[in-house]
Structure 1
């Protein structure tokens, strides 16, 4: 896979493939990023911050991230730009550099999509839990085709973004390349959410 240069947006959160992302844009470097992405239809990379903060000096991003594609714009009540985006392909960052405006760019290698794997019977409860969570929350994900609940990758990614896990745990789940292994890890986390 060849290296591709993309702008990076380090965040204090993990974006999963197919997942929603809403951002409030106010720094000049990110306004530039949004303008460029809107102009040429490109995406930007979202990586969990390992050191630093979202605003101010450039933060140190995790080596594995997710491409985000902007799906909508709005003006927020405070007058700032709001964007909605959706997670796409995952990638690994080979090198980074900081441009004059403080925007971090990465030379990244995109990962192939995971193979389609059915949710194994021993993890069927995870699909049921996800369906109940989505019924409560509503939104676009709650209206998906019932067949999605048989897709191990989709179930794993949706549960990983919905459960109140620590960001390093979410990053671990993002970095896994085996959808069944991700479900096993989620199964390992589940006891902490059971009511005593």
Structure 2
């Protein structure tokens, strides 16, 4: 396990996934300081699901697993508040947290060992087919994903297929957090497949 690294945290009532985009509005001083710090250091920050507490006010209790957020764009809304467009990158596990004087939560994190491209296994071929259909449906609404025809190579990658399905399927925050805690991309697909099977109507009740 690599040594811990200090990472400023932005707890939210949502789960950021690797490769997924997220829009943020920033107005609290601690998070304005976070953005300035990340800009100076050309580094990202961590986003974790809130287990206890709220997004504003007193520091919330974050989940132990989160994802590094890298700022891709920024601007302001009509109220003059700072807006950010970030994208999820590396997964991490928080071993300890501390609170700065400005209320910003900082974590000692270890980066998860995510392998590179992992070939899809035969039992998960239908998951790639489903993802391709979803990409064709939402291509205009999610231009960053692109249409399936431009992602044929990614559709053979178990990790990419799993994260994009987790992004597009109607999962709960708890389910997405469970996926973040799983290192094996094939096991993540098994979890997704199991949840999808649970949603299927029972023929006996039809």
Instruction: Point out where structure 1 has 5 or more consecutive residues left out of the alignment.
Output: none
Where in structure 1 do 4 or more consecutive aligned residues deviate above 3 Å? 191-196
**Alpha-carbon deviations, 1:50-85, whole Å to 9, x = none?**
111111110000111111110100112332111011
User: 2: distance between equivalents of 1:107 and 1:115?
Assistant: 24
2:144 pairs with 120, 128, 140, which one?
Answer: 140
**C-alpha separation in 1, matches of 2:189 and 2:25:** 32
Cα distance in 1 for residues equivalent to 2:84 and 2:132: 27
Instruction: Assess if the C-alpha contact under 8 Å between 1:114 and 1:179 holds in 2.
Output: no
* Cα distance in 2 for residues equivalent to 1:86 and 1:6: 16
Alignment-derived partner of residue 84 in structure 2 = 83
1:42·1:69 contact (CA, 8 Å) conserved in 2?
A: yes
**Count, aligned residues:** 196
Q: Gaps spanning 5+ residues in structure 2: where?
A: none
Q: Offset at 1:165? A: 1.1
**Equivalent residues of 2:112, 2:183 under 8 A apart:** no
1:158 aligns with 2:159: no
Query: What pairs up with 1:28-39 in 2 under 5 angstroms?
Result: 28-39=29-40
For residues 74-107 of structure 1, the C-alpha deviation after alignment (integer angstroms, 9 at most, x for no partner) is 1123321110111111111111001111110001
Radius of gyration: which is bigger? 2
Alignment correspondent of 2:47: 46
For 1:27-66, what per-residue CA distance to the aligned partner results, in whole angstroms no more than 9, with x for missing partners?
1111111111112211101111111111111000011111
CA RMSD of aligned residues (A): 1.5
TM-score by length of 1: 0.94
CA gap of 1:193–1:134, structure 2 versus 1, over 3 A, is farther
1:103-139: per-residue Cα shift (whole Å, max 9, x none)?
1000111112234321112211111111221222221
Query: Residue 62 of structure 1: SS of its match in structure 2?
Result: strand
TM-score for the superposition, normalised by structure 2:
0.90
